[in-house]
A and B are shown apart, each in its own frame.
Chain A
Amino acid sequence: MIAQAIRLTARKSRELLGFRLSYRTQRYLFIYLVLAFPLLYFLGTRLLPILYAFNVSVREWDLLSQEKPYVGFANFTALFEDEVFRKSIVNTLIYVLVGVPGQLAVGLAVALLLHNVRRFRGLFRTIYFIPYVTSAVAVSWVFRWILMRNGWLNETLLGLGLEPQLFLQSPRQAIYLVILTIIWQSIGFQMLVFLTGLEGVPRMYYDAAAIDGAGPWRRFRHVTLPLLNPVIVFSVVIGAISYLQTFGQVLSMTNGEPLNSTRTIVLHVYALAFQRFQMGSAAAATVILFVMILALTLLQFKLVRRKVEY
């Protein structure tokens, strides 16, 4: 006690003697020493590269030639005139428009079921989460093997007396199978997000609704869903951003085939940049992707702000 009191008075007297400024200096020195390298790092590996990408996108940037002449928006017009790129934009939108609702629906269903049971909840949660931690490339090859011409699924269909399917070789089916693979891998994440949201809904809301005579469907429709709205908006935007960037699964499962029916913007970027070495056009395609993602994020801000009044 006494020792502490002495230490305290010693400190007080030092402060009174004018050490206060040096304390402030020490504090600021600490803050800026911690932040200096990380800030330079983000500048060097994120902000400057973005500007660099814009610069590359308005040039004819062939990796093999010295000259990188400025061409204005020529890369962009060329991209939009390219049938394959237009196809990959449409495909990317299919990935988003089918994948996001699909992932949300499955994730919400699993979360509601889990919320409904008491025993083994932790075990189920663990199992459903496993695919999320595994490598997308390895998983893609597993699905490719299951879906191949005489793979497990076709053999099983045959065994049941049903018609075998083309699956990944079919221009109509392939894209939906790639989407299913991605959904399968993200169930765990989506379930967890909804589960956390559901745990935040106070039980008394359900009890009140039940006393008012609301059945399970009406309680879901009028209590659960509105209260989950912020979680849904968050999931839609995060999901859309990630489906807009679909790449690894497509490269592994179909490489964009058959007939470009599964080709995505990012796969197109990859082919342009690292197989044809046309960095200018590739960068232009990434700028288009960037604009799409930016628009989505701004939309989210708008939706979330409107939500606050609820």
Chain B
Amino acid sequence: MSTQIAAPRVPARGSPSGSRLGSLASYVALTLGTLVVIFPFLWMIATSFKLPQDLYSLRLIPETATLGNYAEIFEKAPFFSWIGNTVLLALITVTTVIVFDTMVGYVLAKFSFVGKSVIFLLIISTLMVPTEMLIIPWYLIATELGWSDTYWGVLFPGIITAFGIFLMRQFMESLPSELLDAARIDGLNEWGIMARIAIPLVKPAIAALTILTFISSWNQFTWPLIVLQTEERFTIPVGILYFSSELKDSASWILIMTGATVSILPLIALFLVFQKQIIRGIALSGMK
């Protein structure tokens, strides 16, 4: 950003490290890196369109492409249910996370009260606890309460997130307190101030948290793997592992890559649409 602003003033030197040659070398290196980043996806997609006899052909664009593999995986495994489950669980998680994390973030940023710093520290310290340590107790609790192998069982550990509270608090802190006080003088009650003044002002943050939560929920793996047992209730990542591990002969690589494409492409599309929000959210959470 700063380079772009400074550029008109120092037209000869666009970049911090100088020369035109260096900049050319940077483009070459970045382009090579792009190939490394993109190639696995291209190879995955290419494989998903192949006929079994072309499995070992190294062509990126298959001589004869087929959509049959997509039909086949939807026939062989409940991919529709898996996608439906993943979307449903992600949407519910996003809703509860946004509602609770926004409110808690707001209160922790804009009010002073007894025990505030203790509460904040308590919530943030849960970020240090490895999920694996919680998974065994969660599993025992879920089994005891009959939550195992249910949607609620998958959902319950993630309905409020410490990460989201932290993120929302960062954003909420920048709200001018004078604005909130003015609304108080105007007689708006605290719920009204939060709903009508504070929340509309942090819409970009809410957008960022929404999309980050959706992605992490979609890709969540370890806990659903443990809590779910019925094939129809699986989420996409658990389904992919199950589906891929079941297939044994080498031709099934085509089907595995088809499944991987189905699970990866929607998220890449989502990212391309919402990349501004995603990048802002990560940059903000990473830096403060």
Contact B260 A138 (CB under 8 A): yes
Whether a CB of chain B sits under 8 angstroms from the CB of A118 is yes
Interface residue from A35, A136, A152, A282 paired with B104 (Cβ < 8 Å): A35
Whether a CB of chain B sits under 8 angstroms from the CB of A216 is yes
Say whether chain B's binding surface is mostly helix, strand, loop, or mixed: helix
Q: Contacts A35-B107, A133-B271 hold; do A245 and B157 have CB atoms under 8 A apart?
A: no
Chain B residues with Cβ under 8 A from A42's Cβ?
A: 122-123, 126, 160, 162
Whether a CB of chain B sits under 8 angstroms from the CB of A162 is no
Q: Which residues of B contact A (CB under 8 A)?
A: 1-4, 6-7, 14-18, 22-23, 26-27, 29-30, 33-34, 36-38, 40-41, 43-44, 47, 56, 58, 100, 103-104, 106-107, 111, 113, 119, 122-123, 126, 128-141, 156-157, 159-160, 162, 165, 185-187, 189-191, 215, 218-219, 221-222, 226, 236-238, 240-241, 244, 253, 256-257, 259-260, 263-264, 267-268, 270-272, 275, 278-279, 282-283, 286-287
Contact A135 B218 (CB under 8 A): yes
Contact A293 B22 (CB under 8 A): no
Interface residue from B2, B27, B129, B219 paired with A199 (Cβ < 8 Å): B2
CA–CA, A75 and B174, complex, Å: 49
Question: How far does the Cβ of A95 sit from chain B's closest Cβ, in whole Å?
Answer: 14
Chain B residues with Cβ under 8 A from A7's Cβ?
A: 186-187
Whether a CB of chain B sits under 8 angstroms from the CB of A98 is no
Chain B residues with Cβ under 8 A from A274's Cβ?
A: 139, 226
Question: How far does the Cβ of B77 sit from chain A's closest Cβ, in whole Å?
Answer: 14
CA–CA, A38 and B96, complex, Å: 11
Chain A residues with Cβ under 8 A from B259's Cβ?
A: 138
Q: Contacts A145-B257, A274-B226 hold; do A52 and B140 have CB atoms under 8 A apart?
A: yes
Question: How far does the Cβ of B22 sit from chain A's closest Cβ, in whole Å?
Answer: 7
Q: How many residues of A contact B (CB 8 A)?
A: 99
Q: Contacts A31-B111, A283-B136, A286-B130 hold; do A145 and B256 have CB atoms under 8 A apart?
A: yes
Say whether chain A's binding surface is mostly helix, strand, loop, or mixed: helix
Contact B260 A141 (CB under 8 A): yes
Q: A31-B111, A193-B283, A244-B130 are in contact. List 15 more A-B contacts (CB 8 A).
A: A27-B190, A30-B191, A38-B103, A49-B133, A49-B141, A52-B140, A56-B137, A113-B30, A118-B7, A134-B264, A135-B263, A137-B237, A142-B260, A216-B18, A219-B17
Contact B264 A129 (CB under 8 A): no
Contact A290 B30 (CB under 8 A): no
